[in-house]
Amino acid sequence: MKKFLILINGLCLLVLTLISQLDSFKASQNTGIQKIVGFADSYKIWIITAAAIYIFFYTLWPRWLKPHKQKKELIQELLTRINGELFSGNDNEHRITLFEEITWVRAFLRNYWYFIYHLGIRGKRLLYLRWPKYGRYLIINSRCGRRFKKSSTMFRVEMDKEEQCEGIVGYIWHTGLSVHIPNLPDISDIDFSTCRSERNLSQNQRTKVRKYMREGNIPEFRLLRKIHRRSRHFYGTVIDKNEKTWGVLLVDSTANADPFSEEVRKRFNSFALTIGQIIQMEV
C-alpha cells in the first residue's frame, strides 16, 4: 500500500509538471498528442486541484494519523492486559470493549455502509434497511476478544431519556456510573439468523428472550438480532474526557458463573481511569 501511494504521488507530480508545460506541447503535429493536450487544457483547473489536494493530504495525513494510531495501539495493549490480569487471558469467554460516542450523521452513514455490505444476505440486509433513529450512538472503538472484534451493532443513547438508551452499554452511558448486571438468561441455543420476530420462537424461548431483552435493556427484537454475541454477565463504567462522558468500557462474559467479583470490579475501574487518561492525551 505504501509503494502504491508513493506511485500515485509521483504521478500527481508528473501531471502537475506536464500541465505547467502545456503550451510547449500545443505545437506538436501528432493528432493523439493534440487531443490529449486539448482535453488537459479544458480541464486543467480540475486536474491541478485534484492533484494538489492529493499531494497535500499525502504529505499531512500520515503526520495526523500516526499519533492517533499510536494512541489506539496503546489502548488495545491495555485491553489485552486487562484480560490477562483479571480473566487469565481467556478472551473466548470474557471480552473487553471500549465504546465511543458518535453523531447521528456518522451513524447514518455507517448503517448504510453495512446495508450495502450485506446486500447479498437477505436476513442481514433487512436489519439495516431502516434509518437509525435520530440521536447519538455508541460504537466499538477497540476490543479484546477472540471473536467479533469488529461489529456493525450500534447502541443509541439519549442524555435526558433513559428509555431511549439501548443496551447495557447505553444504560451505563446514561447513568454515568459503574454497572454490574449478572446472570442474564442463556439464549445461546437460539438461531437468531432464522428468527425474524418473536413469533418464530417457541413459548419457552420467547419467555427467555423477553427476560433477556428486559434485563439487557434491549427495546427491539431487531436490535437483539444485530448483536453477534449474547453474553450473560456484564460489568462496565463510563470513560470521561474533559469532564464529559466520552464512551463506555465494558466487559461481557459467557461464563456459567458471574466472574465479576468485588476485587475484579475495583481493578477494572482502575484500568478504566488509565484509559480515560490516554483518551485525553493531546496528539
- According to the model, what pLDDT value does residue 100 have? 95
Do 98 and 143 contact (CB within 8 A), yes or no?
yes
State pTM to two decimals.
0.74
Query: Which residues make beta-bridge pairs with 250?
Result: 97, 236
Is the per-residue pLDDT at 45 higher than 90?
no
pLDDT the model gives residue 171: 95
CA torsion angle 179 149 214 193 (round to 10) = -170
Give pLDDT tens digits for 61-116. 555 556 677 888 999 999 999 999 999 989 899 999 999 999 988 888 888 777 77
pLDDT in tens, 155-169: 999 887 888 899 999
Residue 280's pLDDT is what?
Answer: 87
Mean pLDDT of 199-212: 92
Tell me which of 227 and 52 has the higher pLDDT.
227
Mean model confidence pLDDT for the chain: 83
* CA–CA distance, 120 with 22 (Å, rounded to integer): 48
As given in the structure block, the three cell numbers for residue 196 are: 425474524
Residue 6 has pLDDT above 70, yes or no: no
Write down all domains in the chain, each with its CATH number in brackets: 2-42 (no CATH), 66-279 (3.30.450.40)
Distance separating alpha carbons of residues 169 and 238, to the nearest angstrom = 9
Partners of residue 97 on adjacent β-strands: 143, 250
Reply yes or no on whether the pLDDT at 19 is more than 90: no
Q: What is the pLDDT of residue 191?
A: 87
Which single residue is written with the C-alpha cell 452513514? Answer: 109
On the question of pLDDT at 125 being above 80, the answer is no
pLDDT on residue 169: 96
Q: How confident is the model at residue 282 (pLDDT cuts 50, 70, 90)?
A: low
d(CA 216, CA 184): 8
